[in-house]
Structures are given as C-alpha cells and as structure tokens.
Structure 1
Amino acid sequence: MANPFTEHPREVGENYFQHLATAAKFAATMLVGGICVMIHAFLPFLFVNMGSRTMAKLHKRMTKRVDRVNWERHPII
C-alpha cells in the first residue's frame, strides 16, 4: 500500500522533508506576496511591482524543478 506522505514527494524526486521545505517556502512566498498585493489594492502607491515580481520568482523556481518531474504525468497548473 502506498504511503500518502511519501508517494508524491518520491514522484518529484524528493524525500518527505525536502518536499516539506520546498512547499513551505512556496507557501511563505505566496502569503507575503498576497498580503502585499492586498495592501496595494487599498494603497496603490505601495508594493507597486510586488505581485508580478512574486509570480515571476515562483514561476522561475517551479520551472527549475521541471527536470526532476515527469512533466507529462504531473503538470503544474
């Protein structure tokens, strides 16, 4: 029987703790970026480029991981 805690990390070439760290970094980046964009919504002179920079940064990080993943089987959408 497959272990749900290790099956996906193994599919992307990581162990459980490596995957935990990677996912936590992505989550923290998204949270900070999201908060800045929400502030920008009310105060448009603040964090003018934060949303697009955050998205570009995450996209760059994610696409570097493509080589370690079977992209056909596990597309990142």
Structure 2
Amino acid sequence: MLNPFRQHLIDANESYFSHMRFALRQCGRLFTAACCLMLHALLPFILTHTASYLIDKINHDLEEKRSRKPQ
C-alpha cells in the first residue's frame, strides 16, 4: 500500500510540482478574493463583482480538472 502522500498524487493524476502549482494558484486566488471581500465590506461601492468572479474562476478550474480525471 502506498503512503497517503503518494496516493493522493496518483489519485489526482499529477506530479508533485504540478499539484503544488495548481494548489498555490488557487490559494492565491482565494487570498485575493478574501482581501477584495474585506475591502468591499468596508467600502461597498468598490470591487462589487471581483470576489465573485475569482470564486467562479476557481470553481471552473476545479470542475475542469475533475472532468479530466481518469475514472
């Protein structure tokens, strides 16, 4: 039996670095969305759709990745 670290990479059909790149990209988008939401909470007239756009982009990327995953 493989260790959980390797098993997840095999299940995701990714190398360590491609998995890290994807995860860090999503982390950056989530951080940016959180900052936009914080600013929007203070000043409701700015960044009215930015966080929603970023979250939709993350969802799109995850759905696309799921659809490419071998069954």
TM-score normalised to the size of structure 1? 0.80
Quick one: percent identity of the two aligned structures?
A: 28
The question of 1:18 aligning with 2:12 is answered no
How many aligned positions are there? 71
1:75 corresponds to: none
SS of 2:45's equivalent in the other structure is coil
> What letter corresponds to residue 24 of structure 1 in structure 2?
L
SS of 1:32's equivalent in the other structure is helix
2:66 corresponds to: 66
1:70 CA drift (Å): 6.0
Consecutive unaligned residues of structure 1, counting only runs of 5 or more, are: 72-77
2:3 corresponds to: 3
> What letter corresponds to residue 25 of structure 2 in structure 1?
K
- Write the deviation string for residues 8-60 of structure 1: whole angstroms up to 9, x where unpaired: 12101101111000000000000001101111001111111012101111111
The worse-fitting range, judged by mean Cα deviation, of 59-68 and 14-23 is 59-68
* CA distance in 2 between partners of 1:56 and 1:70 (Å): 24
* CA distance in 2 between partners of 1:6 and 1:25 (Å): 21
* CA distance in 2 between partners of 1:6 and 1:34 (Å): 31
TM-score normalised to the size of structure 2? 0.86
* CA distance in 2 between partners of 1:62 and 1:7 (Å): 19
2:29 corresponds to: 29
Consecutive unaligned residues of structure 2, counting only runs of 5 or more, are: none
Aligned-residue CA RMSD (Å): 1.6
1:5 CA drift (Å): 3.0
